[in-house]
Amino acid sequence: MAGLPPGLLIRAAKLAWTTLWQTMMGQMAPSSKGGDYQRPESEFRQRVEPEGAYPPEANRYQLIVGMGCPWAHRTLVTRSLKGLEETISTILVNPSPDEGCWVFETPFRGCRTLPELYRQAQPGYKGRATVPVLWDRQTASIVNNESADIIVIVNEAFNQWATRPEVDLYPDALKTEIDTWNDRTYQAVNNGVYRCGFAQSQAAYDRAVTELFDELDTIDRALAQNAYLCGDRVTLADVRLFTTLFRFDVVYYSLFKCNRRRIQDYAHLGPYLRRLYQLPGVAATCDLEAVKRDYYGNLFPLNPGGIIPSGPDLEYLNAPTGAMADV
């Protein structure tokens, strides 16, 4: 091999790596024929409601979460804002870069990995084993594994045990506006950063990154008039956006190639991120080291060396934001 021309070696290495990269990306991030990332739908969509199969009870339900995951992070922020830490406990999992799945920090119900628990709850299950999971310890079953559903459940179903029952993050008067924001931010921002990072063609990346920053620019303009997306109070629309913005400058800007500008450089998005971060209990749900470890250390096709960067310093999140509205 040492006697081969350098150009031939480079071309051979690029061909081998590109083939391997496409294979791994196809398994990790399914895409369209044009290379656009397509997120699969969640499969467990039950509700917690008084007359249903899963009635509200204190200390019956648990959240299975990974601290680096933005979708799981939404449930922790909602739980914190409502003051439900003593009512809904958590079970922690971490992604394994070698096994390609979530692994329990402490074995749970005889399971070492999350896919094992999914199969225990539904024998023969062949779908994705994702977080968050709302787990019912009484029936040993998965209630829901869709974060958008779980945060509504946490907001509405456990008020009698909440230390802040007056906090309503999904009020009837704002539901239409919240849903409109959620539809926009999910496609362009929450899932948009993944569409950038997991794009398997230049055209797919160009479409995703343009849509992402067009929407961020629109949000920034809207926040020139309001403290939060729907006015002067925090809603689930803010919770859903926050967990993506918290990770943006840390991992999406560099690892996912979302590098047109940082969130902290926006005139209104920057203070908005700080405002949310400084709400009571929210900072305690933010684990910077887990975020960096899980993204840089776990997504091998995007970071083959597994090197985890030392920064950035997030002290700016504690800087003043101007006048704040109450939750």
Phi-psi map region of 229: left, alpha, beta (phi>0 left; psi -120 to 50 alpha): alpha
Which residue in the list 61, 69, 230, 286 is annotated as catalytic? 69
Cβ 124 vs Cβ 117: under 8 Å: no
**Cα–Cα distance measured from residue 91 to residue 73, given in angstroms and rounded to the nearest whole number:** 13
Rounded to 5 degrees, what angle do the CA atoms 303, 304, 310 make? 50
Please give the sequence-ordered ranges of beta strands (E in DSSP) within the chain, or none if there are none.
61-65, 89-96, 101-108, 111-113, 133-136, 141-144
Which residue in the list 125, 170, 186, 194 is annotated as catalytic? 194
Residue 321 tokens, joined: 């934001």
Q: Is the dihedral of CA 248, 254, 257, 263 positive or negative?
A: positive
Please give the sequence-ordered ranges of beta strands (E in DSSP) within 57-110, or none if there are none.
61-65, 89-96, 101-108
Rounded to 5 degrees, what angle do the CA atoms 187, 191, 193 make? 115
List Cβ<8 Å contacts ≥24 apart for 250-254: 250/288, 250/291, 250/292, 250/312, 250/314, 251/291, 251/292, 251/295, 251/296, 252/193, 252/196, 252/197, 254/309
Among residues 283, 263, 265, 281, which one has the least CA distance to residue 273? Answer: 263
Annotated catalytic residue 125 = no
Annotated catalytic residue 258 = no
Q: Catalytic residue numbers?
A: 69, 194
